[in-house]
Amino acid sequence: MAPAEHPPVRLSHVTLVYDGGVRALDDVSLEVSRGERVCVLGANGSGKSTLASVVCGLLAPDGGTVELAGERVCADGRPDLEAYRRARRSLGLVFQNPDDQIVTSVVEDDVAFGPENLGLPRDEIAARVARELRRVAMEGYAGADPSRLSGGQRQRVCIAGALAMEPAVLVLDEPGSLLDVRGRAAIMRVMGRLAAAGTTLIHVTHFMEEALDADRVLVMGHGRILLEGTPDEVFSHGPELSGLGLEVPFAARLSERLDLPWTCDERQLLCELGTVPNSHKTLMEEHPDIKHVCKLGTVPNSQVEHVTFSYGRGERALDDVSFEVSAGSSTAIIGQTGSGKSTLLRLLCGLERPDEGRVVVDGHDTSSRRGSKAARRAVGYVMQHPERQLFAETVEKDVAFGPRNLKLPAAEVERRVSRAIETVGLTARRNDSPFTLSGGQRRLCALAGILAMEPRILVLDEPTAGLDPRGRAMLRRVLARLSEQGITLVQVTHSMEDAARSERVIALDQSRLVAIGTPREVFSRDNERRLREGGLGIPRSLRVARELEDRGWPPLGDPLTTDELVAAIRARAERAKVTVPFAREGRC
Amino acid sequence: MLRIAIGQYYAARSPIHALDARVKLVCTLAALVAIFCVSNAAQLGISAAFVAAALALSHVPVGRVLASVRPLLVFLAVLSLFNLFFVRTGDVVATLGPVSLTSGGVVAAALYTARFALALVTGSLVMLTTTPTQLSDAFDRMLSPLSRVGLPGHEIAMVFSLMMRFVPTLADEASAIIDAQSLRGGAFDEGGPIRRVRSIVPVVVALLASGLRHADGLSRALDARCYEGGEGRTHLHEQRLSRGELAAALLTAALLAALALLA
């Protein structure tokens, strides 16, 4: 155990250079005190994951001094391997992919793996396993098989496994980036509990909202710590953050747009907006101009009629689902993990055939072999993490794989490849290996490979999952461009904001369709309870608007985007002849 | 979606699950050798009873066992056809044009297929009732003489068990990549052998990249959890030879004796 006066982590002037000359860490100094909760923010390639590896003793730097858990493991770039071994016993790490961290097939055995390696006595291991599983709220799953758990549950098992080693510091390197909203929320709850119990936490993430509860926030860029301070201090540097490929939390953006006192706390923002005297209610007419009326094409280009489907003899993955997709429209499918979303996509691109009902894609009924073949030609399917399908030596060759298979003439292949690469904005990287691209670029490269098939319908399974804010923005821009070109988009998404930007939303829960319509219809007040039961939320602008209405504001007309929310708040304020903020009445 | 059931653990509390993995492995090995020597109906009956008893004790549903051996059933069918038509001993039972079936062929087809099926079920039962860590620890101890002469006995065991753990993960990824590439016009079931081999390159390379990513992640996880080989490791579950192990050993010995007597 480290003597009390030693901080668990102390780095001074640490530099780390990867093969090929990339400076992943450049003169980084950092001290973390016992019980502190530090959040490290940064885009892909900012050096934040390298920092995590250095802090948990898995990478020794090339220069600088590192002290971990009271051991001087690296002095002026000279690592002491024995000290590293000792220090690692008091350092815990949890990273992105739970599948890579679980070593065995029973939950409690996996949690026991670390303590077993430490050579602890059996009774002690058993006690720790039970205690940590309880701490991450997984005590009911001690005997379960991890491969049958959800991603969020598996990640909690990994956290328990790290905690069971009783680390002086727990490093969490993007623990939620591969999880759905519910899984991420559960991880955040566990972290809150750990912080309250005095565990020293270092949390690396690119979700800005997750940094709000930290004691201290570090922003990394180009291998350096560029900003440091409390969440409030750091997030007040909006322009600098967006320059680094990050974004400020929603509440901060909103407070800025409304000229309110700056805050990144949503509660506080709502207080600032205040409650409105009841008299103002009468000033409001009911329905302001409704934007977002979707102009649905007259010709549906795909139909799903009373489709029921199950894998093998198992439970139904889809149960009597019907809807139409019109040509050139954009549709979002929402629902929590296991609701049948991905299955629906597989049916739409002819990879599966329905047990009952019919799927017609671009005029081809997929129930026949010929029909499903024709449907596959009309549809481009972007699977989850499509970058996993990359294989060729260069971006160009990878993108050309599809057109070549179609046996098109060389000139046509060339035309399609160039066009697809240009659409996704990778022209400059055309002759590079796809494996040297950043995460977001790799995904765009995979997307280009599908676009080169020139599909009329593009079906995407969680296209933004696991990307940093910059990657997400790039991908959204490309999708918007494709939509303008008249390509029909159908995407499964966990982001209610992405769903709100689509023309139509389809909500699934437990294999059944629970809501369908324009975002405005689906996210209506009547549906809110039903969505919540299905593990779904509503877009945050709408959430803020509803909250304000509950506090006495006149109806704000269901704004779905930040722009609409800001406009609605300003319009109401003007009509009520008051300025924002309204005079506050009573307590908040 | 493709679900590979080979090597999947089935969690339950049963005498078979609780058995020390070393004893389980040695008994299984002995039983497998014995089953492969089965040459008459009486021996087959005794072996079948032994396997059935083990299955019943294990609390693993029969469907689960069958699912895990299903990929090998084709092989089994081919094997039995071979025996049926190519074993030429005994009397001719039936004739279909140029092909004739002999009694020896029928017996061989039935016997060899049955004993091979029993062996498959036995093997899969071990995988279904033993976790990768238990397997690795058992191998570790059984291979420890190797470590004494300087060979990486423990590491071999760990690699083997992690391989079993990653089979389902990689199988899922392989099927996703195959779907994705075939939607881009990759044809995996057309053309001659050379074209077929060429056509799986996009899948194999992508899968290899994915395997390397997992390996990277895994080595990070093993380091972070202070895995430094078998030395100094303790165990949550006690591996102790008790009455259960003794019973298993005696029952296996009884099987061997019975088969020898009936030979």
User: What pLDDT score does A395 carry?
Assistant: 94
First-residue to last-residue Cα distance in chain A:
46
Q: Which helix (H) or strand (E) holds A95?
A: strand A91-95
Contacts of A102 in chain B (CB under 8 A): 165
For chain B positions 20-79, those within 8 Å of chain A (CB to CB) are none
Least confident of A169-178, A441-450, B149-158: B149-158
Q: Do residue B8 and residue A105 have CB atoms under 8 angstroms apart? A: yes
Is A453's pLDDT higher than 60?
Answer: yes
pTM above 0.95, yes or no: no
**Residue length of chain A:** 588
Touching check for A388 and chain B: CB below 8 Å?
A: yes
In angstroms, the CA A517 to CA A173 distance is 38
Tell me what the pLDDT averaged over chain B comes to: 82
Q: Which helix (H) or strand (E) holds A358?
A: strand A356-361
User: What pLDDT score does A481 carry?
Assistant: 93
For chain A positions 421-440, those within 8 Å of chain B (CB to CB) are 435
Q: Do residue A103 and residue B133 have CB atoms under 8 angstroms apart? A: yes
DSSP label at residue A209? G
Q: What is the pLDDT of residues A262-306, one digit of tens each?
A: 787 888 888 877 655 443 333 333 333 333 333 344 456 788 889
Say which residues have a Cβ less than 8 Å from residue B45's Cβ, sequence separation at least 6: none
Domain boundaries, chain B: 15-130+239-261, 154-224
Tell me what the pLDDT averaged over chain A comes to: 86
Rounded to an integer, the average pLDDT of A338-358 is: 88
Nearest to A121 among B177, B201, B234 (CB): B234
- Whether residue A175 contacts residue A96, with contact meaning beta carbons closer than 8 Å, is answered with yes
Is A585's pLDDT higher than 60?
Answer: no
B7 or A22, greater pLDDT:
A22
CA atoms within 13 A on the CB side of A430: 13
| Closest to B10 measured CA to CA, from B51, B66, B49, B48 | B66
Percent of chain B with pLDDT over 90: 11
Q: Do residue A103 and residue B232 have CB atoms under 8 angstroms apart? A: no
User: What pLDDT score does A394 carry?
Assistant: 94
- Whether residue B153 contacts residue B145, with contact meaning beta carbons closer than 8 Å, is answered with yes
Q: What is the DSSP string of B16-70?
A: HHHS-HHHHHHHHHHHHHHHHT--SHHHHHHHHHHHHHHHHHHT--HHHHHHHHG
Is A233's pLDDT higher than 70?
Answer: yes
- Whether residue B60 contacts residue B10, with contact meaning beta carbons closer than 8 Å, is answered with yes
Contacts of A92 in chain B (CB under 8 A): 224
**Interface confidence (ipTM) of the complex:** 0.80
Q: What angle do CA A45, A48, A49 make, to 5 degrees?
A: 90
Touching check for A97 and chain B: CB below 8 Å?
A: yes
Q: What is the pLDDT of residues B13-31, one digit of tens each?
A: 888 888 888 889 899 999 9
Q: What is the pLDDT of residues A164-223, one digit of tens each?
A: 999 999 999 999 888 877 888 889 999 999 999 889 999 999 888 899 999 999 999 999
In angstroms, the CA A516 to CA A508 distance is 9
| Closest to A74 measured CA to CA, from A140, A10, A156 | A10
Q: Which domains does chain A have, with CATH numbers?
A: 9-246 (3.40.50.300), 254-290+540-575 (no CATH), 300-517 (3.40.50.300)
For chain B positions 119-158, those within 8 Å of chain A (CB to CB) are 131-134
Q: Name the one residue in this structure whose structure tokens are 């109806």.
A: A555
User: What pLDDT score does B64 carry?
Assistant: 84
Identify the band that residue B85 occupies on the pLDDT scale cut at 50, 70 and 90: confident
Is A584's pLDDT higher than 70?
Answer: no
- φ, ψ for residue B202 (rounded to 5)? -60, -30
B161 or A465, greater pLDDT:
A465
**Most confident of the ranges A574-583, B6-15, B30-39:** B30-39
User: What pLDDT score does A21 carry?
Assistant: 81
- φ, ψ for residue A101 (rounded to 5)? -105, -15
Q: What is the pLDDT of residues A131-166, one digit of tens each?
A: 999 999 999 999 888 888 888 899 999 999 999 999
